[in-house]
Amino acid sequence: MMYSEIADNLAKQLPKSEFQKLQNKTWHLGIFTEPCLSYMMDHKKTIESRFSKNKISPYNRITKDDIVIIKKSGGEVLGYFTIKKITFYDLTITNILSIKDKYEKELCVAEEFWGQKKNSQYATLIEIDSIVKLEPFKINKKGMQTWIILN
């Protein structure tokens, strides 16, 4: 249901050739909160991260060629981005502070973020290649999931 809602809106907003390129890719719906959402849309945040205690999406379930649909938490779909690079971390092997040291500037997260994520076991870092802003639109999303593979 969500996939067709999003596909219909993208087909209306994008040139046909652009939309056809997207159709051959795997689509993910990412839910984003402020202020990180604005930082990302303004190209200040260049890496999106997802930390978890379990091996849940997008950990090991996303590839460089996939598309991430950007939806504001409790709000509308605002755009999508293509992926430049993905790195997966097992945090029982890699210390979370080494990720902080290496990527803090690109992640644009507040200091308290690191304390909130200290018990995470897995991390996915998604380097954003380019963002396409869309005319915002609503979709029928239910539940608390912050990452969904759509197709």
Walk along the chain (151 residues) and give the pLDDT tens digit of each residue.
799 999 999 999 999 999 999 999 999 999 999 999 999 999 999 999 999 999 999 999 999 989 999 999 999 999 999 999 999 999 999 999 999 999 999 999 999 999 999 999 999 999 999 999 999 999 999 889 999 999 9
Whole-number pLDDT of residue 11: 97
Positive or negative, the CA dihedral 149, 33, 140, 127 is negative
Cα–Cα distance, 55 to 144 (Å, whole number): 17
How many angstroms separate the Cα of 113 from the Cα of each of 31, 88, 118? Answer: 17, 18, 9
Question: Which amino acid type is present at position 92?
Answer: T
**Is 92 in contact with 121 (CB distance < 8 Å)?**
yes
Residue of 71, 97, 96 whose CA lies nearest to 5? 71
